[in-house]
Structure 1
């Protein structure tokens, strides 16, 4: 399940993408338009900036903006950045692997099923971008 933080990040990113021709957008505008707590949004946008998804400009005419085109912002990257692993079990995670307690992975049926779930989920998320989210919301 996506955390509220990640959901809000996608709401903010889509707003920035929809308004990319305006230049940098104030946090307060995004907060008001997408109904996200200003303080919470500040932290989210800072994380996205540190990860190289957003840029910011200070002063008059300042705010946040997308560094990359929406077609290059992969959903999997944003989810991993904010929520961590995409896999439902740590023993099937590609980037955050941990052995489950009292588990024999080679004979664990749950491990094999969850690896298949992970693979199919990644097939979608690694091939979908912010542009796809924008197209879906316009439909």
Structure 2
């Protein structure tokens, strides 16, 4: 399950993607339009800025803007940046691998085998889906907004 913070991050990034790379959108427009608490959105956008996905500009025409093309930002990347590793078990994680404390051997672990298959399928979808895909397919946005 993804966090509320990750859902808000995706919703904010979709607004910025629709505006276009480098086009500033005021934080109040994002917060109001997406029904995201402003203080929480400020935190999220600051995280995304530190991770190199968005930039900020002060002043009359200020706001936040996407730094990369929407077709180069995947859902998987955003989830990892906001929520951390996607793997359901620590022994499957690319970002934060560690051996399970109670494990006798990864090769023989029947639990790991099933979750590894599910994890591969899940990450394949998340790492293939881009912000551009979500903009092009309004059904994705409806599903995102419904949660």
Give the structure-2-normalised TM-score.
0.88
CA distance in 1, matches of 2:22, 2:110: 52
Match of 1:66 in 2: 66
Match of 2:12 in 1: 12
Alignment of 1:113 with 2:114, yes or no, is yes
* Number of aligned residues: 139
> Structure 1 residues 22 and 107 mapped into 2: Cα distance closer, same or farther (>3 Å)?
closer
Runs of 4+ in 1 over 6 A off after TM superposition: none
Give the structure-1-normalised TM-score.
0.92
Q: Secondary structure at the match of 2:101?
A: coil
The answer to whether the Cα contact below 8 Å between 2:22 and 2:65 also exists between their aligned partners in 1 is: no
Residues 24-103 of structure 1 aligned to structure 2 (within 5 Å): 24-103=24-103
Q: How far apart are 1:21 and its partner, in Å?
A: 7.8
CA distance in 1, matches of 2:21, 2:7: 23
Q: How far apart are 1:81 and its partner, in Å?
A: 0.5
CA distance in 2, matches of 1:70, 1:138: 17
> Structure 1 residues 82 and 22 mapped into 2: Cα distance closer, same or farther (>3 Å)?
closer
Q: How far apart are 1:23 and its partner, in Å?
A: 2.6
Gaps of 5+ in 1: none
More off after superposition, 45-54 vs 104-113: 104-113
The answer to whether the Cα contact below 8 Å between 2:21 and 2:67 also exists between their aligned partners in 1 is: no
CA RMSD of aligned residues (A): 1.7
